[in-house]
Amino acid sequence: MAKQKKRATVEDLKARLDAINPELFEMLSAPKTHFSFRVNLNRSNTDEVLQGLKEEGFEPKAVEWSNEAFILPIEDREKIVKSKIYTENKIYIQNLSSIFAALNLKIEPHFWVLDLAAAPGGKSLIFSERAQKVSAVEPDKSRFFRMKRNFKESMAKNIQTYNKDGRFIYKACPQWFDAVFLDAPCSSESHIDMQKGITWWSIRRIHKFAKLQKELIISAFESLKTGGEMIYATCTFAPEENEAVVNFLLKKYPNAKVLPIEHKLPNTQQGITKWQNEEYSNEVAKTLRILPNKAYSGFYMARINKDEG
């Protein structure tokens, strides 16, 4: 009889999170108190949105690093989707960590931006407001068509969509893009609901995604123009999917340079350079972990420059 594999437990996850940050498990377990949204500049502007929401009884609070991102108490989440401002697609509900990461991609008005794992499309919409052209790639067919509908409803007219496997984009588009964003598929540890317990999470899942992420980050880097910048991101805490993937890129490409991330966020931690029996380049310390807090979900991001070499 085949030996049954041991199911991962909450204790397994907690032990890993404690090794990254002793406060992380408690942060992840805490109930959500706020949610966030962003003004859709393709359809509206901040003044119109705030006035409209005020008239409907909402009192959003601004974040200090953007004049288009706002938070509301979590109890307003169900109410706001029935508001006129929301149904007219003048706002887009999106996590603050994702908004922050997307706004940190260096974009000039003439840029052509690649969003390599784009669905549901919130970051592509941000790029569409700042760049001349955006290419949004999504391999999953159902997610791809929902993303296309999302772009149409948001009136983003400068986004090209491709139902393709991002691992191979660089073969068709070598060094085409001025900027690249890769929010890689991951084990999604920041989305674990501790009230429901551990269901789909496992170490095996982490290693499966780490392999995929290394293929995707190569495609992203090869698709980037020399001198351009990219951001690698995940919504997981696992160093195997975060620092280890960036370290892999640095080893493979001497012209890949990690750039510092300037911010005023209180809930952050710099990238770690040691995990279990592995040691990473000291450059990885320039990467950033956003820790779960209020409207912020757990997130990891790295800014990477493709040097002249």
C-alpha to C-alpha distance for 91 and 69, rounded to whole angstroms:
10
Q: Which of 17, 107, 235, 246 is labelled catalytic?
A: 235
**Cβ atoms of residues 145 and 118 within 8 Å:** no
Number of Cβ within a 10 Å radius of residue 115: 31
Counting Cβ atoms within 10 Å, is residue 55 exposed (0-12), middle (13-18) or buried (19+)? Answer: exposed
Sign, CA dihedral 11-15-18-20, equals negative
Rg of the chain, C-alpha, whole Å? 19
Catalytic site residue 235? yes
Which two three-digit tokens encode residue 202? 């496992």
What single string gives the DSSP state of each residue in 225-273?
EEEEEEEEEES---TTTTHHHHHHHHHH-TTEEEE------SSEEEPPS
Find, among 295, 184, 297, the residue nearest to 242 by Cα.
Answer: 184
Cis check for the bond before 120: say yes or no (omega within 30 of 0): yes
Question: Which pair of tokens denotes residue 151?
Answer: 């772009």
* Ranges of H-type helices in the chain: 10-20, 24-29, 46-55, 77-80, 84-87, 96-103, 122-128, 141-153, 169-172, 203-223, 243-252
Greatest CA separation for the chain? 67
Catalytic residue numbers read: 235
